[in-house]
Structure 1
Amino acid sequence: MEATYIWLLMVGILAVVYCQPLPAWEENNETEIYLQDETHSETSLPCHKISTSNTIFALRLYKELTLATPNENIFFSPISISMALAMLSLGTQAAVQTQILEGLGFNLTEIPESEIYKSFQHLIYKLNLSSKKHELKIGSFMVLDKQLKSLHEQHSTKEWYEGTTFTFNFTNFFSTRRQINKYIENETYGKIREFLQDFNQDTVMVLVNYIFFKAKWIHPFKHYWIKNHLSSSMDKKIIRSSMMHQKAQHRFLYDKELSCIVLQMEYIENVLILLILPDEGKMRQVEDSLKPETLKKWNKLLLPSLLNLHLPKFSISGIYNLEEILPRMGFSSIFTPKVNLSNFTGLPHQAVSKILHQVAVDMNEKGTKAAATSTFLSQPGTLNQDSPLTVHFDRPFLLLIWEVSAQSLLFLGKIITPNAD
């Protein structure tokens, strides 16, 4: 019997928007990175049980993406991918379910499947809490051929992941594709359009997870242009970079051991961005050292410092096909009929044909929040607050966007060549 196919799609979006400076009292709010085993002011929440495993998976996936595309910009939403794969595991048989959850980094002797799903359920609730200061929305939906019967596991996606299930006539695959693309476009406020291209008559199910985020800087930047400012041993092209400048206090550190600058800038209400600027030629060393322990170390050592800060303004987007990368990370069965998604579809012999992840990110002079970061052991003992330290992000750097209350890494990337808009 010829296999039928299932699409698993992850759509991750970061959109930073124009804003005005926020009231001064908000600048004093402290936001820090915490992981599962750290002591902090907030009582431990169900979603914190999966934070360390999700972070480890994110860093593993980042390293695989850098191996696949070493000289290109990278930006993705690890939490969107983790959620989509965990949701997919609900429709599989026991052996493949175990493979998926262990591939995500969970030790099933320490945390049972039910606790993992409950933790994701609480994470979605936590991330979707409404805020007047920023927009953060994460959601999922499943699209099935209307000829398939409703099964219990379809309802589980609603229970655990707030996922909506739609049924369409898949024989009219042009119309179905158009409706799915329109729904994704609406849910991502127009940032992702015509995402699903290769949908065809062999498809019986489409599973989608999406994330949308936009926020404001506390301290807006000033904008300027500079020619040949961004240079890199990986990319020798002449670039006319669109730059941003501000003089402000941020948490900051120069890590002597890893030869990199670490800078933390806060978005309002529990979201921060961590920027890591390796010394020339030290990018690989820093990437190889990325692990939860490194993030914890940096978080403890970051100190407020007055900075004269120059950052590139950038706008990048990308689509990642994960069918080759995920099997190298332990997900060997999901692209074969062994995945057996009959718990979702009621049909045997299905295979996941594609796992797509699309992301867009914009960072400009009027969007995002400021703070400061520091790492291992090399910051000035006492900075003269009248003479700020000048920091230029004039070579490739890493960025992590973190939701603190949920202890979740929302976005992770490397900027080699910013595309000025």
Structure 2
Amino acid sequence: MRVVFSSLFLVLLAEVWLVTSLNFSSQSPETQAELESQDPQNQTWLENTWTVPSDEEEEECWLRTRQQQLSNETSNFGFSLLRKISMRHDGNVIFSPFGLSVAMVNLMLGTKGDTKIQMENGLHLQALSQAGPLILPSLFKKLRETLSSNQELDLVQGSFAFIHKDFDIKETYLNLSKKYFDTEYVTTNFRNSSQAKGLMNHYINKETQGKITKLLDEINPETKLILVDYIWFKGKWLTPFDPVSTEADTFHLDKYKTVKVPMMHQKGNFASTFDKKFHCHILKMPYQGNATMLVVLMEKTGDHLALEDYLTIDLVETWLQNMETRKMEVFFPKFKLDQRYEMHKLLQHMGIRRVFSSSADLSELSAMARDLQVSKVLQQSVFEVDERGTEAVSGTLSEIIAYSMPPVIKVDRPFHFMIYEEMSRMLLFLGRVVNPTIL
């Protein structure tokens, strides 16, 4: 029986709103001439923003190196964000470092100066950005195209921009956002908040096939632009679980509390390792389409939070390099997560502050940028794992050994999971399950 890794949907929202009332006049001839000179169709301005090797083989190597750097830094950004989330609560977690980075880099096209620098630093992308002003959107564009062309992976990513009908947004920003992120622009009237909410919810409900029906509880009538990025991942296990083998079993929340969960079971060949330094088992559970869920299970119940301080891409790569495939039994719980985060508060703790303040420089977004700031970045994820699959919108080498993995691994206590694409190593989703019976 096949496994459909039940669907994960991610919605990221960046709401840009006016702090003071503005006079939205038409663009001056000088402003229009400047925009035309920066037309993204102008190949000289757009394509020659950084230098790549002229030799085709060297260029491919250069791009591959930059893509790997992008994946590594996005993963480390995700691990840092997980630590910030853990400072606020110790329950279930699910979010997409990839999706959040896409949304923020899309918004970054409209920033300048210290505002842009803070965003680059907070996203761990400052080193890459030094190669050229458009290398980040270009790399994300190439990665998105690669992921969407993999039909077995079944991952869909898209962007909407809801623009107030009188908002003076720069044509340059519109063109760049469309070019690199395929953003679809929808004109609306935020003064009529009820109508605006209905329009937005209609689009999001349609794109997420009903998984997310209500995006916002309220809309500030001074809002001028809302950016929405979404991801829909519908993975199928490479080796499916048989529902007949699923039985009620005990999941240990801590040393004293337990709950009953539907526990899936399967015998087969799995890649795994054991980290002696951190006392954790690491198990690979592959999907069709060259994607993998990496499950990290502490040896002792209650130790899972301590591991988060040490999670880095280098540690994960070390685990992967020391994997050994062998026949074993795996017990894995069915669960569903539905999480929503006010990412703007977390991002501020990661140094991205100016874009959320009255001193934000959004002059590449609008000529009236001095009166604009980003008010919200929200993320909502719905994630479900069952027998049919998933449908979803540092240790050293000497301290990590493959043969310590037991022939039976039972995920019956809190664990972390990561979903990444094998070729790019991009961390698509990162999560923590403390109680599989709670959304």
Please, what TM-score do these two structures have when normalized by structure 2? 0.79
Structure 2 match to 1:341: 362
1:226 correspondence with 2:226: no
Equivalent position SS for 2:272: strand
Counterparts of residues 9-408 of structure 1 (less than 5 Å): 44=64, 47-70=67-90, 72-108=91-127, 110-131=130-151, 133-151=152-170, 152-223=172-243, 224-227=246-249, 229-233=250-254, 237-280=257-300, 281-347=302-368, 348-367=370-389, 376-380=399-403, 389-408=407-426
Give the 3 Å change call, closer, same or farther, for CA 270–330 of structure 1 in structure 2: same
Distance change (3 Å), C-alpha of 1:135 and 1:364: same
RMSD: 2.6
Greater fraction of residues in helix: 2
Instruction: Report how far residue 175 of structure 1 moved.
Output: 1.1
Cα displacement (A) at 1:352? 1.5
Task: From the CA coordinates, give the structure whose radius of gyration is larger.
Answer: 2
- For 1:192 and 1:4, locate their aligned partners in 2 and report how far apart those are by CA, in whole Å: 32
**Contact 2:150/2:289 (8 A) holds in 1:** no
Give SS of 2:134's match.
Answer: helix
**C-alpha distance in structure 2 between counterparts of 1:154 and 1:244, whole Å:** 47
Q: In 1, distance between residues paired with 2:414 and 2:20?
A: 43
Q: Distance in 2 between matches of 1:285 and 1:113?
A: 38
The structural deviation recorded for 1:286 is 2.1
1:87 touches 1:157 (CA, 8 Å); kept in 2? Answer: yes
SS in 2 for 1:337: coil
Paired AA for residue 352 in structure 1: V
- Give distance in 1, aligned partners of 2:304 and 2:105: 31
Q: CA deviation at 1:420?
A: 7.9
Partners of 2:270 and 2:283 within 8 A in 1: yes
Q: Secondary structure at the match of 2:389?
A: coil
**Deviation of 1:368 (Å):** 5.8
Structure 1, 45-54 or 116-125: larger mean CA deviation = 45-54
Q: Is the 2:322–2:401 Cα contact (8 Å) retained in structure 1?
A: no
1:46-101 residue CA offsets vs partner (Å, 9 max, x unmatched): 5334111111111100111111112x100101111111111111112222111111
Partner residue of 2:19?
A: 3
**For residues 63 and 266 of structure 2, what CA distance do their matches in structure 1 show?**
36
Q: In the alignment, is residue 419 of structure 1 matched against residue 437 of structure 2? A: yes
- Aligned counterparts of 2:436 and 2:384: Cα–Cα separation in 1: 10
Identity %: 27
Partner of 1:28: none
For 1:99, the aligned partner's letter is Q
Q: AA paired with 2:247?
A: W
Q: Distance in 1 between matches of 2:194 and 2:437?
A: 33
Q: CA deviation at 1:241?
A: 0.5
Distance in 2 (alpha carbons) for counterparts of 1:2 and 1:300:
50
Taking a change above 3 Å as real, the CA distance of residues 356 and 88 of structure 1, as seen in their structure-2 partners, is same
1:237 Cα offset (Å) = 4.6
C-alpha distance in 2 between matches for 1:120 and 1:85: 11
Gaps of 5+ in 1: 6-40, 370-374
C-alpha contact (below 8 Å) 2:272/2:282 kept by paired residues? yes
**TM superposition outliers: structure 1 runs of 4+ over 4 Å:** none
* One-letter amino acid matched to 1:329: M
Rounded to whole Å, the distance in 2 between the matches of 1:187 and 1:353 is 24
CA-CA distance at 1:356 after TM superposition? 0.5
Q: Cα 1:4–1:259, aligned 2, differ >3 Å: closer, same or farther?
A: farther
Match of 1:19 in 2: none
User: Aligned letter for 1:115?
Assistant: I
Q: Is the 8 A contact 1:143 1:166 kept in 2?
A: yes
CA positional deviation for 1:45: 6.7
Contact residue 235 and residue 389 of structure 2 kept, 8 A: yes
Which digits, 9 at most, give the CA deviation of each residue in 1:288-337, with x for residues without a partner? 22101101101110010211110100011110012321111010112112
CA shift, 1:403, in A, is 1.1
Deviation at 1:340, TM superposition (A): 3.3
Q: What SS class does the counterpart of residue 401 from structure 2 fall into?
A: coil
Q: CA deviation at 1:222?
A: 3.2
Change (3 A) 1:174 1:89: same
